[in-house]
Amino acid sequence: MSTMKLTLLTDLYELTMMQGYFKNHTNETVIFDAFYRKNPSGNGFAIAAGLDQVVDYIKNLTFDQKDVDYLRSLNLFDEDFLDYLSNFHFSGDIYAIPEGTVVFPREPLVKVIAPIMEAQLVETAILNIINHQSLIATKTARVVYAAKGDGIMEFGLRRAQGPDAGIYGARAAMIGGCIGTSNVLTGQLFDVPVKGTHAHSWIMSFPDEYTAFKKYSELYPNACILLVDTYDTLKSGVPNAIRVFKEMREAGIPLTFYGIRLDSGDLAYMSKQARKMLDKAGFEDAVISASSDLDEYLITSLKDQGAAITSWGVGTNMITSSDCPAFGGVYKLAAVQDENGEFIPKIKLSENSEKITNPGNKTVFRLYDNETGKIRADLISLADESFDSDKDLLIFDSVETWKKTTLKGGTYHVRELLVPVFKNGACIYTSPSVMDIREYCKREQETLWDETRRLTNPHQVYVDLSDKLFRIKTGLLDQMSQGK
């Protein structure tokens, strides 16, 4: 995370509400859930990402003198509240679903249990970070899926929505399955592979294309990918590249990793022609990589047409998730602790039943099929529930309750997704490295049926409520429709 202090990366209303609670001496412990309602880009799942940056944010959450002075200058806050802020630190608990995990709508990705003043303050930054990185990780998973095993490189920095969108977007893209990024700063910060060769300007700064290629091959003989479309791809670029490769071969330079990059024109046609030319010259192992406004749909279409491309540089559409540039995560009050220490479930009504929140102190269990290892369903339950996988388990849709399934005891196993991250304000979680999260994310996606990974109109995984949670929810709904 940027070394800039992010304490004031919050909406003003979090602070005006905090002062409200402060003045009312109401600082009871509450539970907020961060969750989302709809998978981005029509996908069948999302990939949780950003937790490591949330951890950094919470650890550094203090108001320094400059922050307090600024808030004072707004003429909204009293000195007693500003005093409180200067001594502020986060004292609560946070649970979260680890980065790289496959997740579904309505599941709490992050659960904050803290005095209401603290839980309210952290809303905006948690949403900002989780929404962004989960969005890009999910979009990347789609692009990687479309590439059917070819490598995807993240090339979007220049079109990202500001420096952080480039830095953490590339981090999320690595989690989602890229083999590398062009972003050097992301490479430095997160120890992930960085990739890149040269631009058109390299070619144009030499008297001719051949000389530019030749010079490049002398400099980087072990990673010699030549950009062939500056003047004319098939008439000039590919022939010049072949000439240089031949000279390398004749000079006894081992051709380990070499080839061409296409950046314009019809990539299907160009790649097939280039492949023929390279093969005919005896360069069957020359790589053909491509970049140029790619996304999961164009890659699918190009592969369908037999494009001879095995390495893809994806920029704008992935780093901005261009067809769906926001993740839509929300942060909702789920429970308030009473004077006896018990959590009283809270619910937010809406005319749209999809928008009615799930009340109470909850967790998420994932039910896997023993035989296939695939996900059978997820179960949102109360945090103190447990499920014995030796016993039959009846699960049912929480809206269309007649949709029921029984999981036979002994045929499934259960995993709790939420893990403790902060306890009484102390971080008790160590984030894995990005490359380890990437590997985990790959395995996570293997727990999905291929029908759920399909890019268009995928099969939706069942996310049901436990019987106990369902009864609490319907009870609260009945109560509210009778009351007031």
Under rule CB under 8 A, which residues in 20-49 are in contact with its own copies? 20-21, 23-24, 26, 28, 30, 32
CA distance 461 to 483: 35
User: In whole angstroms, how close is the CB of 76 to its own copies at the nearest point?
Assistant: 7
Query: Is the separation of the CB atoms in 254 and 240 below 8 Å?
Result: no
User: In whole angstroms, how close is the CB of 375 to its own copies at the nearest point?
Assistant: 28
Binding to its own copies by CB under 8 A, coded x per residue (else -) over 104-123, reads ------------x---x--x
CA distance 1 to 51: 11
Nearest Cα neighbor of 140 from 132, 152, 150 is 152
CA distance 345 to 336: 7
Residue with tokens 């308030």: 336
- Give Cβ neighbours of residue 21 (< 8 Å, ≥ 6 apart): 27, 116, 117, 120
Smaller CB separation from its own copies, 230 or 361: 230
User: In whole angstroms, how close is the CB of 47 to its own copies at the nearest point?
Assistant: 16
Task: Report if residue 310 touches its own copies, rule: CB under 8 A.
Answer: no
Task: Report if residue 60 touches its own copies, rule: CB under 8 A.
Answer: no
Task: Report if residue 333 touches its own copies, rule: CB under 8 A.
Answer: yes
CA distance 143 to 379: 29
Smaller CB separation from its own copies, 16 or 305: 16
Which residues between 209 and 238 bind its own copies (CB under 8 A)?
215-216, 219-220, 223, 230-232, 236
Strand partners, 423: 426
- As to burial, measured by CB atoms within 10 angstroms (0-12 exposed, 13-18 middle, 19+ buried), residue 341 is exposed
Run of H or E including 168? helix 163-175
* 372 phi and psi angles, rounded to 5 deg: -95, -20
Which residue in the set 31, 47, 58, 135 belongs to the binding site for its own copies (CB under 8 A)?
Answer: 135
Helix (H, G, I), strand (E, B) or coil at 246: helix
Which residue in the set 64, 80, 83, 208 belongs to the binding site for its own copies (CB under 8 A)?
Answer: 208
Binding to its own copies by CB under 8 A, coded x per residue (else -) over 263-302, reads -xx-------------------------------------
Residue with tokens 């977007």: 169
Sort strands 287-291 and 258-262 into parallel, antiparallel or unpaired. Answer: parallel
Task: Report if residue 132 touches its own copies, rule: CB under 8 A.
Answer: yes
Which residue in the set 45, 88, 327, 422 belongs to the binding site for its own copies (CB under 8 A)?
Answer: 327
Task: Report if residue 12 touches its own copies, rule: CB under 8 A.
Answer: yes
Which residue in the set 38, 76, 408, 410 belongs to the binding site for its own copies (CB under 8 A)?
Answer: 76
Smaller CB separation from its own copies, 159 or 423: 159
Sort strands 375-382 and 102-103 into parallel, antiparallel or unpaired. Answer: unpaired
User: In whole angstroms, how close is the CB of 6 to its own copies at the nearest point?
Assistant: 6
Report how many residues bind its own copies under the rule CB under 8 A. 106
Q: Which stretch binds its own copies (CB under 8 A): 275-283, 324-332, 393-401, 456-464?
A: 324-332
What token pair was written down for 154? 């993240």
Task: Report if residue 431 touches its own copies, rule: CB under 8 A.
Answer: no
Find how far residue 197's CA is from the centre of its chain: 27
Find how far residue 169's CA is from the centre of its chain: 8
Which residue in the set 184, 251, 394, 399 belongs to the binding site for its own copies (CB under 8 A)?
Answer: 184
Query: Is the separation of the CB atoms in 233 and 265 below 8 Å?
Result: yes
- Distances from the Cα of 474 to the Cα of 337, 345, 358, angstroms: 20, 12, 10
Binding to its own copies by CB under 8 A, coded x per residue (else -) over 152-181, reads ---x-xxxxxxxxxxxxx------------
Which residues between 409 and 428 bind its own copies (CB under 8 A)?
none
Within a 10 A sphere around the Cβ of 155, how many other Cβ atoms?
Answer: 25
* 413 phi and psi angles, rounded to 5 deg: -135, 165
Which residues between 346 and 365 bind its own copies (CB under 8 A)?
346, 348-351
Task: Report if residue 255 touches its own copies, rule: CB under 8 A.
Answer: no
User: In whole angstroms, how close is the CB of 377 to its own copies at the nearest point?
Assistant: 29
User: In whole angstroms, how close is the CB of 393 to its own copies at the nearest point?
Assistant: 32
Q: Which stretch binds its own copies (CB under 8 A): 95-103, 320-328, 420-428, 465-473?
A: 320-328
User: In whole angstroms, how close is the CB of 435 to its own copies at the nearest point?
Assistant: 15
Find how far residue 77's CA is from the centre of its chain: 36
Task: Report if residue 11 touches its own copies, rule: CB under 8 A.
Answer: yes
